[in-house]
Amino acid sequence: MPITQSAKKALRQNIRRRARNLAQAKTLKETIKKFKKAPSAELLSQVYKKLDKAAKTNVIHKNRAARLKSRLSKLLKK
């Protein structure tokens, strides 16, 4: 357990950020699954939005976001 005040605050921040990151990752995953089940242009724009937000907030790496966007758009073209 943290002893100093700054370590206690850092722990509180870490807990909040972890919860936020996990929630964001979960919604991203659900949106991608929904798109893969029934690809549509509307769902693709939602997926793009979630991927861009996740990459911006460092939930996922920007190259991973770009790779997923490429693969999902390719899936829509089929």
Q: pLDDT per residue over 16-54, tens digit each?
A: 999 999 999 999 999 999 999 999 999 999 999 999 999
How much is the pTM?
0.85
- As a whole number of angstroms, the distance between CA 62 and CA 16 comes to 23
Nearest in space to 64 (alpha carbons), one of 77, 56, 27? 56
Residue 6: CA count within 13 A, CB half-sphere: 0
Residue range 1-9: mean pLDDT, rounded: 95
Cα dihedral sign, 41-46-47-49: positive
pLDDT category of residue 78 using cuts at 50, 70 and 90 = confident
- As a whole number of angstroms, the distance between CA 36 and CA 75 comes to 8
The residues spanned by each domain of the chain are 26-77
pLDDT at 29: 97
pLDDT at 70: 96
